[in-house]
Structure 1
Amino acid sequence: MTTRSLPTRGSFIDRFIPLNVNAWVRLLGIASILVNFLLVLTGGLVRLTGSGLGCPTWPRCTSETWTNVPAMGIHGFIEFGNRTLTGAVGIVALLTFISVWRLRGRYTDLFYIALALGLGVIVQAIVGGVSVWLRLNPWMVGVHFMLSGVMVAMAAIFYARVRRYSMRRVIETERLSDRPGPDNLQRFLGVVIAVVTTIAVYMGTLVTGTGPHSGDTDSARHAFNPEVVTRFHTIPVWILLLLIVAILVLAKRKNWAPAVSKSAWTIVIVMLFQGAIGYTQYFTGSPGVLVWFHLIGAGLLIWSVTCLFERMVVLGTPTLRNLAESRVEIAEANGIV
């Protein structure tokens, strides 16, 4: 009869609070993206079903209870469900922060991103509470959504870096050592697409804040002309599409890493989906289901643009490229890759 030895305390800590980036840290990276993305989608569901004040107070759901009660109906259930999901986001953020605690000396970027994700959960909860106090003021709701976008972006950067620091195939796909440097143009365009995307998404919040889906029948709306604000929203979107086309052309001419073109094509696909939904929404009076799909597209756009932005900044900066290669070599030496 054979016996299986139990894992020691040290092996448990090394796995879940490692000294090098491992599969557990990568898993938490993708979990961070997914829970923050899901929070965006459930927030959209709250708004589109008119459940924004399903829990009329904050931090309690009502003045007497912390949770919804049956008398509040489906609106209370949906709104409280969204609040509960914030707790799941917080748990993932805490686990992510703990997982990089012993890495903080050598992987300072991962440590500070994980810290920012944790603090972001608290800020998001407070902003959401203020939105309830202000009866879903569209300006505050817009800020709430933009913060969600920032959380998705930070999680995407975290995941991109833990993969690059611990997986040889990622380094080989990006072909860091083959790139001439420095490449200021690549780095500059990465920053520009991030800025333009931020403007496009924010203008999208103004369009939504002007439209019919306020989250509650008594909530205020923006006083903008819907047609005018929608056209202003499309301007940065078209600029972004032109920039992505330019990046695809430059990537071929300047022999940028194949991963850059791959990320750019992903954005093109997302933008085609988003554009089809957006124009259909515009000509059909913004039915709720299309608004929700447009929200999915916005989240995917933030995710995909962040991936390209992060990749172009790293590949366009020799010191960051060299740092990435040195870290994957450490991972290989420790049997992590």
Structure 2
Amino acid sequence: MQHRYYWLLKWVAVLTTLGMLLILLGGALVTKTDSGLGCGRNWPDCNGSLIPKEITTEVLIEFSHRFVTGAVSILVLILVIWTWRALKHVKEVKFLGFLAIFFLVLQALIGAAQVLWGQGDFILALHFGISLISFAAVMLLAMIVFEVDQKFDAVRVDIQKKLKWHTIGVTLYSYIVVYTGALVRHTGSSLTCTSWPFCDNSDPFKLPAKMYEWVHMGHRFAAFLIFVWILYIMVHAMKHYKEQKVVYWGWIIAFILVSLQVIAGAFIIYTHLNLIVSLLHSLFISLLFGLLCYFILLVARSSYNEKNH
């Protein structure tokens, strides 16, 4: 690839990744502001017209989310086709491109189905997770674009069996954490427990009494486990992978993100669902999930290197 076009591809990769983040945060904003029916039971039009005639806050939020999703979808398509053509020698590119497009379309269809017919809370909770997979695939494509000039050792990693299994396990488990968090939002359980870290700090050992309390505290417990798990993995990586900077620093960044996620979760309670804090909560888990998926890519490369040496 010519140098000038390679830099252009880098810019497209960055813009597409940021765009996918906007889709995720826009979806969270729609949910948190109850703007899902801002355009009524109409899709893809908004209240009977392509451009809404009457602008309310709910209409603006919902229509903006749809517009951004449509615009970023074009960027995703450009990035996927470009990487398929320019980086076809990188074996992960075609699979990641397929994942990005498939799950982007799937999340759009689920969003449309919610508008047209409505969905249950447990189905709606999947919407964020499906969008997250598409974001992670785009983020990994962007990472591969930046790997081409080989300024860091992401291609030549050597990850041992213990870290491999922990990486796979914590990544799969992170999806459970994401789902429980989305379930808290969609069931309206965010302020069922008004204390932190326990549902009732005056009686820490009191079991939840209602379904919504179980949903809320289930997510807190799941978040606590992933915090401890990533802390353990970070310590292990710092002890045994000092020479592999992408692994060493990657797990340090993962721990910083999970720590910010926990802090944001606590401040959601303290600030009584402050919108900015809530969106930061969604941002941190999105970045963490994308990073964990990148670790899965590194694990796959390490296994491939072992088989071919």
What one-letter code is carried by the residue in structure 2 that aligns with 1:60?
D
* Structure 2 unmatched runs, 5+: 191-209
Q: Secondary structure at the match of 2:151?
A: helix
**Alignment correspondent of 1:111:** 94
Rounded to whole Å, the distance in 1 between the matches of 2:108 and 2:96 is 18
What one-letter code is carried by the residue in structure 2 that aligns with 1:86?
T
Rounded to whole Å, the distance in 2 between the matches of 1:36 and 1:285 is 27
| Residue 279 in structure 1 maps to residue 262 in structure 2 | no
CA shift for structure 1 position 136 = 5.6
Rounded to whole Å, the distance in 2 between the matches of 1:66 and 1:73 is 16
Q: Percent identity of the aligned residues?
A: 21
Rounded to whole Å, the distance in 1 between the matches of 2:16 and 2:50 is 26
1:142-164 CA distance string (max 9 Å, x none) = 12111111111111222222322
| Residue 130 in structure 1 maps to residue 113 in structure 2 | yes
Q: Indicate how the Cα distance of structure 1 residues 91 and 146 shifts in structure 2: closer, same or farther if over 3 A, else same.
A: same
Q: How does 1:19-34 map to 2 (within 5 A)?
A: 22-34=6-18
**Alignment correspondent of 2:73:** 90
Conservation of the 8 A alpha-carbon contact between 2:43 and 2:115:
yes
**Alignment correspondent of 1:304:** 291
More contact order relative to length (CA 8 Å, sep ≥ 6): 1
**Alignment correspondent of 1:66:** 50
What one-letter code is carried by the residue in structure 2 that aligns with 1:195?
L
TM-score by length of 2: 0.81
What do you get for the CA RMSD once the two structures are aligned?
2.8
**Alignment correspondent of 1:139:** 122
Conservation of the 8 A alpha-carbon contact between 2:100 and 2:134:
yes
**Alignment correspondent of 2:217:** 231
Q: Indicate how the Cα distance of structure 1 residues 99 and 128 shifts in structure 2: closer, same or farther if over 3 A, else same.
A: same
Q: Secondary structure at the match of 2:100?
A: helix
CA shift for structure 1 position 202 = 0.6
Equivalent of 1:167 in 149, 152, 161: 149
Rounded to whole Å, the distance in 2 between the matches of 1:80 and 1:30 is 24
Q: Secondary structure at the match of 1:58?
A: coil
Rounded to whole Å, the distance in 2 between the matches of 1:199 and 1:293 is 19
TM-score by length of 1: 0.75
Conservation of the 8 A alpha-carbon contact between 1:186 and 1:316:
no
Rounded to whole Å, the distance in 2 between the matches of 1:68 and 1:113 is 35
Rounded to whole Å, the distance in 2 between the matches of 1:321 and 1:81 is 49
**Alignment correspondent of 2:19:** 35
Point out the structure with max Rg over C-alpha.
Answer: 1
Q: How many residues are matched?
A: 288
**Alignment correspondent of 2:256:** 269
Conservation of the 8 A alpha-carbon contact between 1:176 and 1:321:
no
1:158-214 CA distance string (max 9 Å, x none) = 2222322x122122xx5837x4xx72222222211111111111111111122268x
Equivalent of 2:245 in 253, 258, 274: 258
CA shift for structure 1 position 273 = 1.6
Conservation of the 8 A alpha-carbon contact between 2:32 and 2:275:
yes
| Residue 186 in structure 1 maps to residue 170 in structure 2 | no
Q: Indicate how the Cα distance of structure 1 residues 296 and 241 shifts in structure 2: closer, same or farther if over 3 A, else same.
A: same
**Alignment correspondent of 1:335:** none
Q: More displaced, 241-250 or 188-197?
A: 241-250
What one-letter code is carried by the residue in structure 1 that aligns with 2:173?
V
1:208-231 CA distance string (max 9 Å, x none) = 122268xxxxxxxxxx63332222
CA shift for structure 1 position 104 = 7.0
Rounded to whole Å, the distance in 1 between the matches of 2:302 and 2:7 is 24
CA shift for structure 1 position 302 = 1.9
Q: Secondary structure at the match of 1:100?
A: helix
